[in-house]
Structures are given as structure tokens and as C-alpha cells.
């Protein structure tokens, strides 16, 4: 039975590689057709890397089908060129998978920002080392083919698959779970498992090569033990990945539905405000205005203390009219953009009545944001300042803004007693996390007992 199975896989090798490539090509194509540039989820911005991996990896696997067919009609030198190009496709596809995982892990702390360029750096090392230098030094072309394949899998596929799995689990925990979508969360966790399995199968089960560990753990030894060749297992992992990722794309439709519902609710609120403003203008405001005119008329006919009292009454009525008119939207149009630093100044000045506040602005002036973004950032800053003043026992607070790699970082740091990681978070911190999520950003909290607390909101800026 075992020999029959091995014989069947050997005879149908071409079909296996064709299906293998088709699975990954469909994965990449399905993702690329679901462009969600407007989404606030970090997953949306990372998926194009996974789509590129699927499409290129599919072409690579199809090379194992079509290049041997063409060997009957093309020269040996041209066939060697096609195999070399196939190796580059393999390395580039793994680099894109690696980059997908790195993008899911962003943003990195300042000193670790170089990690974003690690996949490209490893690809360049592979291209210069095993691919180019190896080609110059190794006389046997088959050994060279084996070397470049093995090195691409060890240095790009293995870490790329594992980091992608970890990054997908992280995004599920940070952004999908707070949305209250357990079904999609479980689907993405399954996708992360498939990525991890593929990373191990694709990165550790390599062609046989005369060096460790490729001479011990390779395609031949794996097939001897498991009977079924590695491409079958990789195909199943890729199939699970394709199904789960495609199903998880539903999260973008849910996000769109919620955005539309929020817009409809905002429209209803705006209509109600317009109606209230109209009723206020045509009703109460006119009556108060008439009362003011009557008081002015009485003031002209009064003398002495009575006239002075009526004048004060007229002043009070005018102030009431100004306050009522301020509620009318046509007299107070909502701006299209708000300058953040100018909006923060009154809050900071209010805090300075209680404690010294240092400000560090490392942003272009003016820094214009939408009213909604500014509103959330002002509330975030107020909450953070209030917590520091009330709980930290600090002697001063530092507020800083900075823009790094297209991200706005707004930080509030105190130098007080801090708190340990096992302290139960309260409503204020949960509120700040919710505001970060609504902005499509990320809340970072650094605090240890005795070393103060720094709370930062990381907000992606639109280009």
C-alpha cells in the first residue's frame, strides 16, 4: 500500500504542483480584489503583502510544472535562466510574506524601527550571497539550485511564516476582539495557525543539501517517514489559510456597515439639531429678544436706581441672547479642519493651574486634523492629564507630539509613582483605549512602580 501511494504521488507530481500553485494564486487574487484602503484596521494595510506572496508563490510552484515541459524545446542555458528566475520568485514571495508579518507587528519602539526593513535586508543578503556569489563559486549547477532554495527557505520563509502567525494573533487580540466579533476572531486565529504550520513546513522541509540541517531534515527524509510529500501538506496549509482569510474579509463589510450606520445616526442627530435650532430661533429666541426691546424701552423712561437696574437687566438679556444664538448651527459652522496645537493650548493652560506642564511640539505648524480626530485627541489628553494630576503624585508633566513614518504620536508623561502591571484598569484608561480604536490608532501604556507613567496614542496620518 505504501509503495502504491508513493508511486501515485510520483506519477501525479505535475498535478500536485499545479494544485499547490493554484491554491496560493487564488489566495493572493482574492485578497487583492478586496481593497479596503479606507479601513481603520491595521490588517487592511498589511493584506496587500500577503496577496503579493500568494500570487508570486503560485507562479513559482507553476514553474515546477511548466519549466520541465519546456526543457524539451529550449536550450539548456535558457532553461537554467528560467530556473534562476524561479528561485528569485521564490525568494521575493517569501520576502513579501515576511513583510506581511512585520507590518502586522508595527509600530515598533524607536530603537527597533529598523526591523521594518529586515525582510528586504535578508533578501538582499540572499541575492548577493547564495544567489550571486554561490553561482560564481559552485561549479555544479544542481548544487547551486539546491543551495539558493534552501537558504531562501531558512532565512525568509521560516521567520516570515512564524512572525506572520504571531502578528495575526496580535491584531486579532488588539483590534478584532474589541469589535465584539468572536467568529471572525476564531477564523483569524485559525489562519494564524495555518501560517505558522506553513512557515515550519516551507522553511524547515527543504531540498537535500550537503550541510546541516538540510542533510538530515529534508524533502526526502520527510517523505520516507510521512509517505506523503511535503507539497501536499503545504497545499492543505495554504488551503486553510485561503479559506480562513477570505472568510475573515467579512470584517471589512461589518466595519463598513457600522460606519454607514454611524453616518445615518449622525445625520439623524444633525436633523434633530437643525429642528431644535429652528424652533429655538423662531420661538424662545424671539421672545427673549422682544423682552430685551421692552426692557430697553422701559429704561429710556426710567431714572435713577430704577434705570440702573433696568440697564443691568438689558445687559443680562443680551448675554442670554448671545448664548442662545451660539447654539444655532448656521451661526457656528463646523470647520473642515482644526489646528491641533491651538486646540490643546486651553487644556494645557487649565492643567498648569495645578501643576507645571512642559510641552514639546515636533510637528509641522499648523497641524490640521478633522474635528472628529481633534475631539477624540482633546478628550484623550484631558483624561491623561486628569489621571496624572490626581493619582501619580508627580511634580510635573510632559506633553509631546511627534510625527514618525506617517504616524502622529501624542504622549503625556508624568514622573510620579507609576503603577504595576497587575493593577486593575479603570474607566478612564478603557475610555482612552476606545478613543484610540475609534481613531484607527493604538494606545501604548508604559508604567512601572516608582518610574512614572507614559501614555501615548499612535495615530496613522492619511497621505
Model confidence at 120: pLDDT above 70: yes
Residues 289 and 347 in one domain: no
Residues 59 and 128 in one domain: yes
Residues 29 and 119 in one domain: yes
Q: What is the pLDDT of residue 332?
A: 46
pTM: 0.64
Residues 120 and 212 in one domain: yes
Q: What is the mean pLDDT of residues 394-407?
A: 89
Residues 35 and 151 in one domain: yes
Q: What is the pLDDT of residue 371?
A: 84
At 215, which CATH number? 1.20.1070
Q: What is the pLDDT of residue 6?
A: 65
Residues 277 and 294 in one domain: yes
227 neighbors 238 (Cβ within 8 angstroms) = no
Select the highest-mean-pLDDT range: 103-112, 186-195, 253-262: 186-195
Domain that holds residue 120: 2-248
Q: Which of 218, 248, 278 is the last residue of a domain?
A: 248
Q: What is the mean pLDDT of residues 374-399?
A: 85
Q: What is the pLDDT of residue 133?
A: 95
Asked, for residue 253, whether it belongs to a domain, the answer is no
Q: List the one residue out of 44, 52, 138 whose CA is nearest residue 440.
A: 44
Model confidence at 390: pLDDT above 70: yes
Residues 126 and 271 in one domain: no
Computed over every residue of the chain, the mean pLDDT equals 85
- Residue 128: Cβ-neighbour burial (10 angstroms; 0-12, 13-18, 19+): exposed
The stretches of 106-157 forming alpha helices (DSSP H) are 118-126, 134-137, 141-152
Q: List the one residue out of 220, 199, 73 whose CA is nearest residue 146.
A: 220
Q: Which of 308, 331, 354 is the last residue of a domain?
A: 331
Residues 304 and 240 in one domain: no
412 neighbors 381 (Cβ within 8 angstroms) = yes
Select the highest-mean-pLDDT range: 99-103, 107-111, 276-280: 99-103
Q: What is the pLDDT of residue 331?
A: 44
91 neighbors 127 (Cβ within 8 angstroms) = yes
Q: What is the mean pLDDT of residues 85-107?
A: 95
Q: List the one residue out of 289, 300, 362, 374 whose CA is nearest residue 323.
A: 289
Of the listed ranges 129-138, 157-166, 329-338, the one predicted with least confidence: 329-338
Q: How many domains does the chain have?
A: 3
Residues 280 and 419 in one domain: no
Q: Which helix (H) or strand (E) holds 359?
A: strand 357-362
Residues 43 and 180 in one domain: yes
Q: What is the pLDDT of residue 51?
A: 95
Q: Which of 309, 331, 353 is the last residue of a domain?
A: 331
Asked, for residue 254, whether it belongs to a domain, the answer is no
Asked, for residue 121, whether it belongs to a domain, the answer is yes
310 neighbors 298 (Cβ within 8 angstroms) = yes
Residues 116 and 175 in one domain: yes
Distance of CA 150 to the CA centre of its chain: 32
Q: List the one residue out of 167, 34, 177, 103 whose CA is nearest residue 406.
A: 103
Model confidence at 330: pLDDT above 70: no
Q: What is the pLDDT of residue 316?
A: 82
Model confidence at 249: pLDDT above 70: yes
Q: What is the pLDDT of residue 455?
A: 93
Joined together, the cell numbers standing for residue 398 give 510632559
User: Rounded CA gap, 38 and 51, in Å?
Assistant: 18
Residues 211 and 119 in one domain: yes
Model confidence at 127: pLDDT above 50: yes
Model confidence at 229: pLDDT above 70: yes
Joined together, the cell numbers standing for residue 260 give 454607514
Q: What is the pLDDT of residue 10?
A: 66
Give the residues across from 361 on adjacent strands.
401
Of residues 114 and 41, the one with the higher pLDDT is: 114
Q: What is the mean pLDDT of residues 230-250?
A: 91
- Please give the backbone phi and psi of residue 336, each rounded to the nearest 5 degrees, phi first: -75, -25
Of the listed ranges 13-22, 136-145, 393-402, the one predicted with least confidence: 13-22
Amino acid at each position: 500500500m505504501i509503495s502504491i501511494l508513493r508511486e501515485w504521488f510520483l506519477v501525479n507530481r505535475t498535478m500536485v504542483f499545479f494544485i499547490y500553485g493554484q491554491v496560493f494564486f487564488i489566495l493572493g487574487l482574492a485578497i487583492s480584489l478586496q481593497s479596503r484602503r479606507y479601513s481603520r484596521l491595521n490588517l487592511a494595510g498589511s493584506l496587500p503583502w500577503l496577496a503579493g506572496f500568494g500570487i508570486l508563490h503560485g507562479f513559482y510552484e507553476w514553474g515546477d510544472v511548466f519549466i520541465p515541459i519546456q526543457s524539451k524545446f529550449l536550450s539548456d542555458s535558457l532553461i537554467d535562466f528560467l530556473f534562476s528566475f524561479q528561485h528569485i520568485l521564490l525568494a521575493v514571495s517569501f520576502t513579501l510574506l515576511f513583510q506581511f508579518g512585520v507590518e502586522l507587528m508595527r509600530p515598533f519602539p524607536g530603537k527597533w524601527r529598523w526591523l521594518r526593513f529586515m525582510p528586504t535586508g535578508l533578501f538582499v543578503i540572499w541575492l548577493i550571497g547564495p544567489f550571486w556569489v554561490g553561482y560564481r563559486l559552485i561549479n555544479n549547477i544542481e548544487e547551486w539550485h539546491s543551495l539558493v532554495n534552501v537558504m531562501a527557505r531558512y532565512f525568509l520563509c521560516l521567520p516570515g511564516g512564524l512572525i506572520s502567525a504571531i502578528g495575526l494573533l496580535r491584531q486579532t487580540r488588539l483590534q478584532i476582539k474589541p469589535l465584539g466579533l468572536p467568529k471572525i476572531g476564531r477564523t483569524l486565529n485559525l489562519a494564524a495557525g495555518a501560517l505558522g504550520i506553513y512557515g515550519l513546513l516551507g522553511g524547515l522541509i527543504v531540498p537535500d543539501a550537503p550541510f546541516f540541517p538540510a542533510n538530515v531534515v529534508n524533502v526526502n527524509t520527510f517523505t520516507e517517514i510521512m509517505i506523503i510529500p511535503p507539497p501536499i501538506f503545504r497545499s492543505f496549509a495554504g488551503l486553510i489559510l485561503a479559506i480562513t482569510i477570505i472568510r475573515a474579509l467579512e470584517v471589512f463589510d461589518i466595519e463598513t456597515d457600522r460606519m454607514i450606520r454611524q453616518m445615518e445616526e449622525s445625520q439623524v442627530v444633525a436633523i434633530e439639531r437643525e429642528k431644535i435650532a429652528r424652533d429655538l430661533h423662531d420661538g424662545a429666541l424671539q421672545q427673549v429678544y422682544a423682552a430685551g426691546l421692552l426692557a430697553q424701552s422701559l429704561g429710556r423712561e426710567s431714572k435713577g436706581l430704577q434705570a440702573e437696574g433696568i440697564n443691568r437687566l438689558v445687559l443680562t438679556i443680551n448675554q442670554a441672547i448671545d448664548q442662545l444664538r451660539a447654539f444655532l448651527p448656521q451661526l457656528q459652522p463646523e470647520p473642515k479642519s482644526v489646528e491641533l496645537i491651538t486646540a490643546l493650548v486651553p487644556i494645557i493652560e487649565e492643567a498648569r493651574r495645578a501643576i507645571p506642564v512642559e510641552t514639546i511640539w515636533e510637528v509641522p505648524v499648523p497641524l490640521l486634523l478633522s474635528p472628529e480626530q481633534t475631539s477624540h485627541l482633546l478628550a484623550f489628553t484631558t483624561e491623561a492629564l486628569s489621571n496624572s494630576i490626581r493619582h501619580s503624585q508627580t511634580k510635573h508633566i510632559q506633553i509631546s507630539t511627534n510625527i514618525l513614518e506617517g504616524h502622529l504620536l501624542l504622549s503625556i508623561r508624568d514622573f510620579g509613582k507609576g503603577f504595576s502591571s497587575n493593577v486593575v484598569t479603570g474607566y478612564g484608561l478603557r475610555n482612552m483605549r476606545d478613543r484610540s480604536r475609534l481613531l484607527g490608532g493604538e494606545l501604548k501604556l508604559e508604567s512601572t512602580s516608582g518610574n512614572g507613567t507614559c501614555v501615548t496614542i499612535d495615530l496613522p496620518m492619511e497621505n
